[in-house]
Chain A
Amino acid sequence: GAGVSQSPSNKVTEKGKDVELRCDPISGHTALYWYRQSLGQGLEFLIYFQGNSAPDKSGLPSDRFSAERTGGSVSTLTIQRTQQEDSAVYLCASSVQVYEQYFGPGTRLTVT
């Protein structure tokens, strides 16, 4: 079946602009994660959604970052007033339970 999809695959934006990154999880997966992966680094947790529960936003690095999950499915990560240090690969993952996360291919964000 279809895996986790993310769009766009690449995004180049100018410093100060806002960007939206989209994640389509696997159908039926109630849990959804966003991670950030800087060049040559591990995965940094950003935010977690589970069903209708309030999301855990504790990993968001600043108030310029926000995320929504509409209808328990598609999620959008928004970065306002982008900075060069926001350049990274943003990964989305979904899972049925807390085990076995399935990752999307990521969105490579470059802030110039």
Chain B
Amino acid sequence: GENVEQHPSTLSVQEGDSAVIKCTYSDSASNYFPWYKQELGKGPQLIIDIRSNVGEKKDQRIAVTLNKTAKHFSLHITETQPEDSAVYFCAARTEGTYKYIFGTGTRLKVLA
């Protein structure tokens, strides 16, 4: 069945450095890739998304890149801040369906 692998499971960076989280999906028909940030005790919050007709999307310090050939997509956070510390999830959805397949999450720690 469909699968989304996410790496790394934990990531520690110094404040101001960049962080990169990578996901690989298995279903070549996947066409929508959201990223969620989940803070302790809260539900996941959509932070950025990308559709398959776009290779890169940026929103201030956050960017997502998509390589359809390799079935990879990545989240890039620049100039990290302590408030970026959270668990980040990637997901993939296949065109014509409504089911999302989620990665297992990355715990990001930004060290002050």
Stretch at the interface among A14-22, A41-49, A73-81: A41-49
Cβ of B102 < 8 Å from any Cβ of A?
A: yes
A56 vs B45: C-alpha distance when bound (angstroms): 23
Interface contact B93-A98, CB-CB below 8 Å: yes
Known: A99-B49, A101-B46, A102-B46. A42 touches B105 (CB 8 A): yes
**Is B25 engaged at the interface, CB distance under 8 Å to the other chain?**
no
- Cβ-defined contact, B32 with A99, below 8 A: yes
Docked Cα-Cα span, A106 to B41, in Å, equals 8
Q: Which residues of chain A (14-71) have a CB below 8 Å from chain B?
A: 31, 33, 40-43, 45, 48, 50, 56
Whole-angstrom distance between the Cβ of B23 and the nearest chain A Cβ: 11
8 Å CB contacts to A: which residues of B41-98? 41-46, 49, 89, 91, 93, 97-98
- For the complex, count residues of B whose C-beta is within 8 A of A: 23
CA distance A101 to B43 in the complex (A): 11
CA distance A100 to B42 in the complex (A): 17
A105 within 8 A of B: yes
Question: Which residue of chain B has the shortest Cβ distance to A9 in the bound complex?
Answer: B41
Name A45's contact: one of B34, B89, B99, B105 (CB within 8 Å).
B99
What 9 A-B pairs have minimum CB-CB distances, sorted nearest first? A103-B43, A42-B102, A43-B102, A42-B104, A98-B98, A103-B44, A105-B43, A104-B43, A106-B43
**Additional 14 contacts, C-beta under 8 A, given A43-B100, A45-B99, A45-B100:** A31-B98, A40-B105, A42-B89, A43-B44, A48-B98, A48-B99, A50-B98, A98-B32, A98-B93, A99-B49, A100-B34, A100-B46, A102-B46, A103-B44
Residues of B at the A interface (CB closer than 8 Å) are 6, 32, 34, 36, 41-46, 49, 89, 91, 93, 97-105
Chain A positions within 8 Å of B, measured between CB atoms, are: 4, 31, 33, 40-43, 45, 48, 50, 56, 91, 93, 98-106
